Each structure stands twice: as structure tokens, then as C-alpha cells.
Amino acid sequence: MNIVEEFSVGTPLEITLPPVSRLDLIKYAGASGDFNPIHTIDEEATKAGLPGIIAHGMWTMGNLAKLFTPYYKEVFLEDYSVAFKGMVFLNDVLTLKASLVSIQNDRYYFDVAALNQKNEAVVKGSAVLKRF
């Protein structure tokens, strides 16, 4: 477990994920119950007019939230909002980022984003951690 004292403006929390694999998306489909076939089956993605299967937006959003997990001893995630800006394809390499914007009383305000290997934001949003 980490401590919130480590949070500082200008020092983002950051993780780079291994390249997105089909198995990642099959696992997420099974665990979440979202079996929309454009996330797992090539022909269905092609039929839907996509160049290939794409990750579930919620898979990326779920991954992004783990930047905060080590801090849940002192805070909980009160608000978490994102917009899905771009598609995530197989073998994309995502970097997850959370930057502290401000601290107000018992709340920590973050900007969050998931960037692909071309440095394009595929997910962008904000999060509020509330201290106990």
C-alpha cells in the first residue's frame, strides 16, 4: 500500500501496459459479461466496418483505475468519469496516466488518460479521491 502523501502536482502516476492481446479481451468479455463480438471475433469487427477487433472501452477504463488502487487504505474513488476518444486495437501499447490537479479539503482531483503508442488519448477524463 502507498500513502497519499506521495501525491504531488507535476508527478503523474503512470503505468505502461503490455501490448493488448486477444486473450485480454476474451478474459474481459467473460468476466464482465460483455460479449459484443466486435471485441473478440475478427469477422464480426469487419462486418461492423472496423479494421479489426477493438478493446472494450470499459476494459481500458477498468485498467486506468488501477493507478489508484494502492491508495485505498486512506482514500476511496468517489467520482470517476471518462470519455472514450479513440479505438484500442490489438497490439496497441497503452500508457495510463493520472495527474494531480488540486487538493481541496479532503478531496484529491486528478486528470486521467490512457494514451496509445502514437501518444493519442484513447480515454480521457477525471477522478476524485476522497480521504476518510
Partner 1 sequence: MFESLIGTRSTPVKNIVERGSLKAFSKSIGDESPLYLDELVGKRSRYGANIAPPTYPRVFDYGEIQGFDLPNVGLIHGKQSFHYKRPLLVGETVMCSTSLENYYERNGKSGLLGFLLLKRYGEEPGGKLIFTEEQVVIITEAVREGMSS
Residue ranges binding partner 1 (CB under 8 A): 1, 17, 24, 27-28, 30-38, 44, 48, 57-59, 61-63, 65-66, 69-70, 72-73, 76-84, 125, 132
User: For residue 4, which of 66, 63, 76 has the smallest C-alpha distance?
Assistant: 76
Which ranges constitute the DSSP H helices of the chain?
22-32, 42-47, 57-65
Considering the complex, state which of residue 10 and residue 55 has its C-beta at the smaller distance from partner 1: 55
How far CA 31 is from CA of 27, 45, 56, 63, 109, in Å, comes to: 6, 20, 12, 14, 30
Min dist CB 14 to partner 1, Å, is 15
Min dist CB 20 to partner 1, Å, is 11
Considering the complex, state which of residue 17 and residue 121 has its C-beta at the smaller distance from partner 1: 17
Considering the complex, state which of residue 52 and residue 62 has its C-beta at the smaller distance from partner 1: 62
